[in-house]
Amino acid sequence: MYIIPKISTALILLLPFFSCNAQVKNAKTESIKIYGNCGMCETTIENVGNLKKVAHVDWNKDTKMAILIYDSTTTTQTEILKRIALAGYDSDQFLTPDDVYAKLPECCQYDRVNKSAMVQNEMVEKNTMHPPITPSEKEQEVNQLKPIFDNYFSLKDALVKSEQKSASTIAKALLTNINEVKMEKLSTDEHTVWMNVMNSIKSNTDKIYTSTSIEKQRNAFMYLSENIYDLLKVSKQDTPIYYQNCPMANDGKGANWLSKESAVKNPYYGSQMLTCGKTVETINKY
């Protein structure tokens, strides 16, 4: 009488695991310890570790153990744990930077077991622990966000010329750029902002790509520009970037965009009001 319900309950509990395994191709499953305290930690660790159809993280706040399921042809345990460390959570492989840990809510500031061991030993043994993650000089040479910025500016130029098809083509390339970003190679500040704006950037870029209306493309570009602005503020650039505003756009509420040129060329109206607007900020982070 009671055996069947118990089996059914067990199967129900395992359904998410099997479902995730089915969604991730070439699935490899590993168990790893990740340090944290509470439900808020669980949400952050899993959200940062997860990549749709590529990686899934299931973390238990009581045991501190995480099950990693990932496509072994697309990503690695290292890349997943680096993303989690950059979000504030130590593992036995990677330590989060001290300044990131310090910004965690008080309830999330777990006892740093590995940090203490590292200080006591003064040296980190090979294959057991690594120092806080900072991009190497070689990694810094390749700006992960540069292709995104470059295509954003190309997209802006297409909208200035009112070229709907060209804007769609550029947006398609931009979607590829977004998917190719290696988050473990971003700086701490870039990584934090990227995690906040990535989904919005994808959504609005996709709207520009799929839309056959220049008006709808320009509306999505308005929101895309806000996200790109946030990224540019924390990323090094080769030249000054001009943050410009059109007071007439967005039904008179105003809308901003970014340009490499100080001269105003309005992407929201094109030739109708080409020089309508002004520079409201110059970003000199280089």
d(CA 10, CA 199) in angstroms, rounded, equals: 34
Residue-wise pLDDT tens digits, 158-199:
999 999 999 999 999 999 999 888 888 888 889 989 999 999
The yes or no reply on domain 15-134 and CATH 3.30.70.100 is: yes
* CB atoms inside a 10 Å sphere around CB 15: 10
What stretches of 50-142 show up as alpha helix (H) in DSSP?
A: 77-86, 98-102, 113-121, 137-141
For residue 190, give the DSSP letter: H
Asked if 143 contacts 235 with a C-beta cutoff of 8 angstroms, the reply is yes
pLDDT of res. 286: 56
At 21, is the pLDDT very low, low, confident or very high (cuts 50, 70, 90)?
A: low
pTM over 0.75: no
Give the residue extent of every domain in the chain.
15-134, 141-283
pLDDT of res. 197: 93
Comparing C-alpha atoms, which of 159, 249, 256 is closest to residue 208?
A: 159
Asked if 283 contacts 236 with a C-beta cutoff of 8 angstroms, the reply is no
141-283 folds as: Four Helix Bundle (Hemerythrin (Met), subunit A) (1.20.120)
